[in-house]
Structure 1
């Protein structure tokens, strides 16, 4: 991929000679960030299901921690507030992906997954130090009596985001001819899948909304469904594009 020269950058913050800023960092950052945010969102759902299964208010210490993790001021924000929160989560995921692509990735070393993992420590720190108190669960999550689970669980979620982001962004920037063609096919399939997924998600959300009107209004459910469908469609389309390219090769 074409890179922007970094000759004028101060040495203390110098870009790596072999990895300057890409000209197409915006496109690659958004594509990678969308998939990474979906991976993190899926992990959040899985973590909540696990905590809800293992948790018991009358159990041992670990079971009480899991119970507190699955039932607190943050998780009980259902309905419109929760749906809007998921939308904001997607937006912030894309913002962090662009910060990574433009500022962090060119200055970090090692394989893509490691660069992404290191970068994810920044939003993780802000989450447990700033977002947790705002959400009402206290600094470091100490306000819900869940021990170290809020901090560790949040770290795992952000590592998932960072590793997927770094890996996908590295794949997007490959200079190998076959990889570039594979990425092109993957991007086309991802875009097609995103459109289909968004349409299906919107229709599905609109249809099921009347049955959960006590939780959220129809427009919010439909919009959240469109975003979720777009993320799923983009991921499936991307994987199908890579598979088709491998079969042709």
Structure 2
């Protein structure tokens, strides 16, 4: 994940896969098929007008302050719209960066295949161009969590809390087909005692909330930073992403540990 280290939430999305899974038009993947930040989800179009839409994005990484979208973009039309909306180009670390002339608003770097942005209040675009050793991929907890999630088309990482018993938790979405989705909850813990305690709590939630989480498998992977993994199968009638917007019991078991 080529974004800078931050304490907030981070979302990775393989939007192209989500669209492929949702090709029947039933919109089962509407919740999980959009980038994690609200820049493209507002009622009013952004300074790019109608020249930038979510269905142009193939992959997205959205952090608290900045993000990276890869896909197919009309760079000339987007930058033309930015200019018409009061944006001006400036050089930042050798890269053309579009910023509002009044200084308030999202800053963007635009090309035909990549859009990088920083949100209002972020002074520079350095978060999307991290130095060696300072990206999320360089943090052991993020590598552990990503490995635990496996081959997912979406991953939502909670804030990084290295001083707490659960240092990092993440929820991933996996789908072999449009009708079969599995949500994978992973937690990186400080020690094996914490991992065993969390696993027991998750199993208790599955029992107490039956049949909501029927079929859930909870496991523990030992190591220097033990992992707890809960794989929660969805039924064909359930929309993927229910643990993001509706069923919070397992999430809360992690947060309240």
Identify the structure with bigger relative contact order (alpha carbons < 8 Å, sequence gap 6+): 1
| TM-score, structure 2 as length reference | 0.29
| TM-score, structure 1 as length reference | 0.30
Higher relative helix content? 1
